């Protein structure tokens, strides 16, 4: 079962390489942090704030590729946790078919937040982190 989550916080500390995003259950109290890199944190922050760059950065490029190929990012699913590492997948709808693409959660969220793509977490992952 998948649980709807929201990006609750982005914590950027420029004195360390480890940054944090916090996902919070939309209709509940559960929340958990995911440690990400500084470049990914800046990408998420930039896309949340709608800051445009002169040339497309990686997440902008990927969004453009998905659109150009007739796809739509339907949702993001954080689907596993192994050895303190989270795993996610992009769920893309293209010509009536669903395409799943493996992703780091930070990249998936950076890609999805600009389009307000829903974020889900598998229940078994929430049980492990809560």
**Mean pLDDT for all residues in the chain:** 95
Kindly indicate the confidence band of residue 31, based on its pLDDT and cuts at 50, 70 and 90.
Answer: very high
Mean of pLDDT values over 64-88:
97
Could you give the CA distance from residue 106 to residue 83 in angstroms, rounded to a whole number? 17
Q: Is the pLDDT of residue 64 over 90?
A: yes
Could you give the CA distance from residue 5 to residue 76 in angstroms, rounded to a whole number? 10
pLDDT tens digits for range 36-52 = 999 999 999 999 999 98
pLDDT tens digits for range 93-122 = 999 999 999 999 999 999 999 889 999 999
């Amino acid at each position: 079962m998948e649980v709807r989550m929201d990006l609750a916080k982005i914590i950027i500390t420029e004195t360390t390489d480890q940054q944090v995003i916090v996902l919070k259950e939309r209709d509940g109290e559960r929340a958990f942090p995911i440690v990400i890199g500084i470049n990914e944190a800046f990408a998420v922050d930039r896309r949340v704030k709608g800051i445009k760059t002169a040339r497309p950065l990686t997440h902008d490029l990927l969004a453009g590729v998905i659109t150009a190929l007739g796809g739509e990012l339907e949702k993001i699913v954080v689907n596993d946790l192994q050895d303190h590492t989270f795993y996610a997948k992009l769920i893309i709808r293209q010509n009536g078919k669903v395409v799943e693409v493996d992703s780091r959660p930070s990249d998936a969220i950076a890609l999805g937040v600009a389009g307000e793509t829903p974020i889900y977490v598998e229940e078994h992952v929430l049980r492990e982190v809560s």
